[in-house]
Structure formats: C-alpha cells, structure tokens
C-alpha cells in the first residue's frame, strides 16, 4: 500500500509536470517552506492550487481548505484533483470562474 503522504507528493509532482507542459514554471510549494497554508503547487499567478490525488474526495472539505489558505494571499482558491486512470479536474467557486470567464470574453472581443 502506498503511503498517503508519498502519494500526495507524487500527485503534486505529476500536476506540476503537467502545468509545465503548458508553459508555466510550476513546482511543489511545500517542498521548500513546508509552512501550513502554502499552496501544494505554485507557479500559476493569482491561483492557489490545492492538489488531491485520491480515489474518494470530499470536494467541499477540500475547497474549504483551499479557500482558507488562499485568503491569506488573496488568491483564487482551486482544487486540482484526479483519480487513478482519470484526467485532472479543477474545482472552483462559481463566482471566481465567472470572473475568469468574463476576463476571457474581454480578451476575445479585442
């Protein structure tokens, strides 16, 4: 059985690698500071990334954690999550998603 801490760290490294493929310099956040409240993965400006690599996820509990941690630095709280053999998903509050979408719309109108 895989240790949950090791599985979490592996999930964080895996997501960082995926985000790097999109052109962002992302890496595990707690590997350097280890402070509570730090994002699991850093490198996406304005976004607090909580990473969950589990088969069963209480998404509301994960979002509460992300909101709490993101509020310190006024970042957008998100949960990036996936199960085995599934794609990464992103969960965020509707209000934050709408802000991003409206910003995208303005860019498209130019």
Q: Where are the domains of the chain?
A: 4-108
- Report yes or no on whether pTM surpasses 0.85: yes
pLDDT band with cut points at 50, 70 and 90 for residue 45: very high
Does domain 4-108 match CATH 3.40.50.620? no
pLDDT at 35 over 80: no
Name residues whose C-beta falls within 8 Å of residue 88's C-beta, 6 or more positions apart in sequence.
15, 18, 80, 81, 82
Distance of CA 7 to the CA centre of its chain: 16
């Amino acid at each position: 059985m895989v240790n949950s801490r090791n599985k979490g760290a592996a999930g964080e490294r895996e997501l960082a690698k995926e985000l790097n493929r999109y052109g962002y310099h992302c890496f595990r956040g707690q590997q350097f500071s280890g402070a509570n409240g730090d994002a699991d993965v850093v490198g996406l400006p304005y976004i607090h990334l909580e990473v969950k690599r589990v088969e069963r996820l209480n998404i509301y509990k994960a979002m509460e954690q992300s909101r709490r941690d993101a509020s310190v630095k006024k970042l957008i709280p998100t949960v990036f999550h996936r199960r085995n053999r599934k794609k990464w998903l992103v969960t965020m509050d509707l209000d934050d998603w709408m802000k991003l979408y409206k910003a995208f719309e303005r860019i498209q109108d130019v």
